[in-house]
Amino acid sequence: MIEFTKLHGNGNDFIVIDEFENEIVPENQKADFAVKYCRRKFGIGADGILYISGSDKADMKMRLLQPDASEAEMCGNGIRCLVKYAYDNGYINLGESTVETIADVYNVKTRKDDGGFWVKVNMGKPLTKRSDIPAQGDSDDDFINVDLHDYPVSVVNTGVPHAVIFVENLDFNIQNTAPKIRFDETFPNGANVNFVRIDSNDEITIRTYERGVEDETLSCGTGSVASAYISNLLGKVNNPVLVHTKGGMLNIELDGKGFLYMEGPAETIYKGVTFK
């Protein structure tokens, strides 16, 4: 039997497996485990499997295995869910803590109020050079705009690669367009694809197609950060930015030193056991 906890951040849902004390799912089975149990209707159902374990660099370590068996470098909604789980299980206290991921070590701050459990994450500085994103091309510009499949696309890495596209209307079939950009040869590691509508000087609404899930998710934390950053950089919005997703809202802020901050909720759905 394998114990698990199901959590979500604005509808972006995850299965958390606790490996703080010992390995629960063998390394050579982790990818297949994600494929099997992330399947909705046939498994538990989730956008990914989060493994929490100890770390030599931080208070905890996060790994994310996705429904297509790939491993993501970072996940904004996922890191909030992992921190919520860590708090609930006594691994951390309210306040400041750190999380190691493949992408970086992230500083987080937690708080509780009548509205729930909130996690604010220092998402670091956005990566905009082609070699850092990574994105193919002849130059290593500091800011990349490319035309892909009839769309002007802004490219940035906010933990994972992101393509940001501005539209006036979000009412369309995302599956007809997003996969072409996600799998475009411009992105050797693939990219999440964000469609952004500017609602006001302080608010945007986005829809995100996530690589690894290979579908639209109700919310994407790194996508919200990328979309808010690009929107502000191009002078379309002020700072901070309220980002609306299908699953809820995230507050994104850029400080004077170039660091991006994301704050949003995390909620436990249920606990259970499954069988190998």
Q: Which residues are catalytic?
A: 75, 220
DSSP string for residues in the chain: -EEEEEEEETTEEEEEEE-SSS-SS-GGGHHHHHHHHSSTTTSS--S-EEEEE--SSSSEEEEEE-TTS-EES--HHHHHHHHHHHHHTTSS-SSEEEEE-SS-EEEEEEEEETTEEEEEEEEEPPB-STTTTT---S---SSEEEEETTEEEEEEESSSEEEEEE-S---S-GGGTHHHHHT-TT-TT--EEEEEEE-SSSEEEEEEEETTTTEEES--HHHHHHHHHHHHHTTSS-SSEEEEETTEEEEEEE-TTS-EEEEEEEEEEEEEEE--
Report the binding-site residues for substrate: 12, 66, 76-77, 192, 210-211, 221-222
Report the binding-site residues: 12, 66, 76-77, 192, 210-211, 221-222
